[in-house]
Every structure is written in C-alpha cells, then in structure tokens.
Structure 1
Amino acid sequence: MRVLVFGQTGQVARELARRCPAGVTARFLGRDQADLMDPAACAAAIADCDVVINAAAWTAVDKAEAEETAATVVNGAAPTAMAARCAALGLPFLHISTDYVFDGTGEAPFITDHPTAPLGAYGRSKLAGEQGVLAAGGRSLILRTSWVVSAHGANFVKTMLRLGRERDTLTVVADQIGGPTPAGAIADALYTAAKAMTQGAPGGIHHFAGAPDISWAGFARLIMARAGLACQIHDIPSSAYPTPAKRPLNSRLDCTGFTAAFGIPRPDWRTGLDEILQELSHAA
C-alpha cells in the first residue's frame, strides 16, 4: 500500500512516519512541497499512491480568531481540494478533524451525527473542511479526535512538564472534560483504516479519542505524578482563564462506531502518557 501523507512535522505526521507498517510505503509532503495556503497545488501533488491521509492543519486555536480567513483556507479549502482530486482519481481520502466542531454543551459523549455548532474560528474552519470533503463525493473518512499529545511539538503534556519543573503550584481548568489522545494511537488507527478502505471498506465520519475522559486539571495531576514532579495542581473554572478562543466544556466523543467499523478500541491515554514520558526522558 502506497500512502501519500500531507504533513511532515506535526504530531500525527511524525508518528505516521515512525509507525509505518510492514508492506506500506509512505511519502510525506511538507510545506515546501504542498503549501496548504495553495489548495490547487495540494490537489496537483496527489499522484503515485493508493490512499491519501491529510495530517496537516492549522492548529493554532487562538490565532485563528484573528486570522480566520487564512485558517479556513488551510483547514477548509485545502482538504476540500485534496478530497476532490482523490474522488476524481478513485482514491480513498482520510482527514483528521476535531471535537471543536461541536458546541461543548452537556455531559454526554458526542455522537457522529450530533448537530455541529463551533464556538470559534478554529472550529468553523475545521467544519468547513469536513463539509468540503463530504461534498467532494469520493470515498473519504473524517476522523474527529481530541486533545492530541506526543513527545513532539507543542502540546499539553510538554507544557505541563516544563511548568511543573519551574513552579511549585499551577492552576488548571477543571470544567473542560475530554479524552487525551496519543498521536501514535491516531497514526496506527489511520493506517488500519486506510488499509481497510483500499480493500473496499466505507469511510464516513468517525470519532477516535483516548480513554478515560478526564478534566485538564485531572490530566495535569497525573502528568505530575507519573513524571515524579511535586508541582501541585489547583482547579479553576474556564472563566478564570480567559483565552481569545472559547473552548468547549464537553469534548467527550462517542467512539463506538469507529471500534465497530475497524476493530480499534479507544486507546488508554495513561499508557500513552507513560510512553511519552519515557521517550522524553531518553531524549533529555
């Protein structure tokens, strides 16, 4: 199976490179080869492959509030163009989306067909991508995930480790609940789904997030404990930590459909966290 991946330095793209299964060849397109600000160029870059994975995106949530037009090109127009090209070539297309397409109300996990209602520019840009991919009419899979973490790039685990070494106490929001998701687990899931789709499996919209669901404060507490840091975590409400972009309070995702379709259960993020901490300790 020949896989073409948009993305090279992001968390999921790096794990896709590291975890490429036997019998699979993966080619990665970085910004220098496929600039997502140029959707037509991205579409033109699709060739010599059996399946396409879009692991590239605008992920700066707060920055999107001030630059929504640019974010919408990257997260909306670019994957739309990729999906249209894949549809024309008869290639499966896999695209990563986010829990931010929902409004974060309630406490129940969001099912895939729950009405979307993004709270901010980032969510709107990702929803535009979902809508464009579906409208392209090809065989596509949209994988919504949440709270991505890894030993690479900027993410909550690395931020907590840095601050936990610098400070005795930290305040962390406790009213936002979701499932931290190791990027490695997402990469493995994408390869499994991609193989199935090249063999005729349908795509659609699916959810994939780590388990168990937890608050950011609870997650921070376990990070400190697992890393052996004495930093104390104090709970605060989201209202005490204002940000340019409003975050959803409920990021829980119902992942039963993905498990049923591809046989992949929700990954235990605690195991993923231990692996991340081990990798970071070896790199230190």
Structure 2
Amino acid sequence: MPELALLVPGGHGQLGRDLARLAPAHLGDAGFAHAPGSAELDITDADTVRDAVGALAEAARNSGVVPVVVNAAAYTAVDAAEEDEARAHEINAAGAAALAAACAAEAVPLVHVSTDYVFAGDGDRPYEPSDPPAPRSAYGRTKLAGERAVLGGTDRSWVVRTAWVYGAGGGNFVRTMARLERQRDTLSVVSDQVGSPTWSADLAAGLLRLASVVAAGRPPENRVLHCTNTGVTSWFEFARAVFVELGADPERVRPCGTEDFPRPAPRPAYSVLSPRRWEDEGLGALRPWREALAAAFAEQGEELRN
C-alpha cells in the first residue's frame, strides 16, 4: 500500500477522533494525518477549505505520499435541524460542496461520510446503495444534498453511508444509556425501530481501508457504499446490551413504541443498510454489532460510561 497523507475535517468529533487515533497504522513512515476541529477548519468557509486542501496536496507532494481527504464533519443534531435546516444545509451540503471543489482543483480523492437518514426508513429489507433516497427529515435532506454535491463535484469521490454510530467522544445512544442507568431505576426504549449499531472505531478502520485502496490506485468502481457493523437489532435490545456491558440488570429496560416518544424529526423505522457492495469491493465486513459493543467497552469503557 502507498504511504498516505490524510486530512480529516471534523477531527474532534467521535468519528474524527477514531480516524486520527487509528490512522498511524495506515500512513507509512513518511505519511501523516491532520484532523482539525471546526474552529481550525470550518468547511462552510470555502477559502479556508481551499487553503487546507491545497496545503495537504503540497505537503504530500513534498513527502512523496498520496493525499486523501476523509470528511467526518457534519451537522448531526437531527431534531435541531428541523428548526434550523439552513444551518444544517450550510454544513452538510454547502460544506461538502466546498470540499469537493477544493479536492477537484487539487486532484485529491475525497471520502465523504453520510447516513441512513437519506432513506425513508419504511423498507423491509436492507437498503442497497442503489435504492432511491427519500429523506423524511431536514437532516436527511441536507445529507442527501451533500452526497450529490460530493459525487457531482469531483469524480474522485466516494460516499459511505453508515448508521447508529456511537463512540467515546460526543453525545450518542450508548453514552446516553450509561447516564440514564445511573439516574433511573427503569427506562423505556423504543422497540419498533431497527438498525445496525456501529462503533465509530470499526467504522474509522473501514474508512481508512477505503482511503488506502483509493490511494493505491484501486478505487472501488461503485462510488456509493454502505458500512456498518453487521447484524440487526432494535433500540430496545441495543439498550439492554449496553446495560449488560455496564454490569446492570437489562430487565430495567422496558420496551415501548415510537408513538410514546414523539420527536421533532421523524425517525426511520427501518435503518438497515446492506453491506454487500462494500464487501464485494474487497473492503472487508465489519464485525457483528454485539461483538463490537463488547470490544468498545473493553477498550473505551471509562469514556463510554462518562
């Protein structure tokens, strides 16, 4: 594999942190990674983006390595986006477009992370990348707009959709369950929404494999891919599994329906993404979600509990 120079916008988020943490194993001796947060690299500022990608390309040329951008920057406040779709669009769509334009100008490949929310969530089989999008929320609409901007802005770009991501940094379902376990005797969690929980470290490892393959000149023929931990569960069963990892009684988690927890943004009832195209491209299946959750607690238990 060639040596890599990586730029990771959104480097201070949960996925960005794992990309930065795991990158050294993929860089080679002369490679390097830079994972700036939004204060340093605001992807809504086209001039700043152009400068950052230009600096990456120049540093890579000087070091004799291959530059790749892996975009982990996103507006992910699903409910807040219903009231502020303009801001979500600014980051998820216009920011993605700025990255694509800068990457096209410098001939730098771009890997862009997207979401299951681009689908309606009313399916009964795993969504394939070729299935027609039909987002039902502002978040989903802005992420779909970002996908289209990336794919249309540079032909050396790949969109990777994922779902139900959790990790040691930021707010996520696992950390919320750990907090509520301390605060409540019992809690109710919806049992009629299903998907594939995905540990951000496993997702990051998959994205880094993709970046390495792209840099090696063997890019996937398919430019839209799905990557999650394998297997399917409900939020209710996921919460019970978290309680098991916490050493708490899973019977304290009770099932309820979506109608019991109305939210500003509609949640997909079915969020399962097919990994078939990802695996067919030789990128390797991620482990089952339950194994990943156990590994996450073994490796990052203290952070996940706090």
Counterpart code for 2:289: W
1:82 match: secondary structure = helix
Decide whether the 8 Å contact of 2:53 with 2:106 is kept in 1. no
Structure 2: gaps spanning 5 or more residues: 58-66
What is the alpha-carbon distance in structure 1 between the residues aligned to residue 112 and residue 178 of structure 2?
Answer: 30
Decide whether the 8 Å contact of 2:206 with 2:286 is kept in 1. no
Decide whether the 8 Å contact of 1:86 with 1:138 is kept in 2. no
Q: Residues 14 and 28 from structure 1, CA distance in 2 versus in 1: closer, same or farther, beyond 3 angstroms?
A: same
What is the alpha-carbon distance in structure 2 between the residues aligned to residue 39 and residue 77 of structure 1?
Answer: 9
Farther-moved stretch of structure 1 (176-185 vs 196-205): 196-205
Match of 1:238 among 243, 258, 270: 258
Match of 1:38 among 4, 21, 45: 45
Which residue number in structure 1 is paired with residue 33 of structure 2?
26
Which residue number in structure 2 is paired with residue 15 of structure 1?
18
Matched, 1:106 2:123: yes
- Kindly state the Cα deviation for residue 11 of structure 1 after the two structures are TM-superposed: 0.8
- Kindly state the Cα deviation for residue 282 of structure 1 after the two structures are TM-superposed: 4.5
Decide whether the 8 Å contact of 1:34 with 1:41 is kept in 2. yes
1:220 match: secondary structure = helix
Q: Residues 36 and 143 from structure 1, CA distance in 2 versus in 1: closer, same or farther, beyond 3 angstroms?
A: same
Matched, 1:210 2:229: yes
Identity %: 39
Match of 2:289 among 261, 269, 279: 269
Structure 1: gaps spanning 5 or more residues: none
Q: Residues 39 and 238 from structure 1, CA distance in 2 versus in 1: closer, same or farther, beyond 3 angstroms?
A: farther
Matched, 1:196 2:203: no
Relative to the length of structure 2, the TM-score reads: 0.89
Which residue number in structure 1 is paired with residue 169 of structure 2?
152
What is the alpha-carbon distance in structure 1 between the residues aligned to residue 163 and residue 127 of structure 2?
Answer: 12
- Kindly state the Cα deviation for residue 25 of structure 1 after the two structures are TM-superposed: 1.5
- Kindly state the Cα deviation for residue 16 of structure 1 after the two structures are TM-superposed: 0.9
Farther-moved stretch of structure 1 (61-70 vs 41-50): 41-50
1:80-229 matches, cutoff 5 A: 80-203=97-220, 204-229=223-248
What is the alpha-carbon distance in structure 2 between the residues aligned to residue 281 and residue 79 of structure 1?
Answer: 33
What is the alpha-carbon distance in structure 1 between the residues aligned to residue 100 and residue 282 of structure 2?
Answer: 21
What is the alpha-carbon distance in structure 2 between the residues aligned to residue 175 and residue 43 of structure 1?
Answer: 44
Q: Deviations over 1:205-226 (max 9, x none)?
A: 0001112110000100111122
Matched, 1:67 2:67: no
- Kindly state the Cα deviation for residue 120 of structure 1 after the two structures are TM-superposed: 0.7
Decide whether the 8 Å contact of 1:193 with 1:262 is kept in 2. no
What is the alpha-carbon distance in structure 2 between the residues aligned to residue 175 and residue 10 of structure 1?
Answer: 29
Q: Residues 137 and 37 from structure 1, CA distance in 2 versus in 1: closer, same or farther, beyond 3 angstroms?
A: closer
What is the alpha-carbon distance in structure 2 between the residues aligned to residue 180 and residue 39 of structure 1?
Answer: 34
Decide whether the 8 Å contact of 1:64 with 1:122 is kept in 2. yes
Decide whether the 8 Å contact of 1:172 with 1:216 is kept in 2. yes
Relative to the length of structure 1, the TM-score reads: 0.95
1:75 match: secondary structure = helix
Decide whether the 8 Å contact of 2:230 with 2:285 is kept in 1. no
Q: Residues 173 and 282 from structure 1, CA distance in 2 versus in 1: closer, same or farther, beyond 3 angstroms?
A: closer
Counterpart code for 2:292: G
What is the alpha-carbon distance in structure 2 between the residues aligned to residue 130 and residue 196 of structure 1?
Answer: 21
- Kindly state the Cα deviation for residue 280 of structure 1 after the two structures are TM-superposed: 4.4
1:111 match: secondary structure = coil
- Kindly state the Cα deviation for residue 37 of structure 1 after the two structures are TM-superposed: 3.0
What is the alpha-carbon distance in structure 2 between the residues aligned to residue 8 and residue 26 of structure 1?
Answer: 10
Q: CA RMSD in A?
A: 1.5
What is the alpha-carbon distance in structure 2 between the residues aligned to residue 249 and residue 224 of structure 1?
Answer: 23
What is the alpha-carbon distance in structure 2 between the residues aligned to residue 182 and residue 277 of structure 1?
Answer: 10
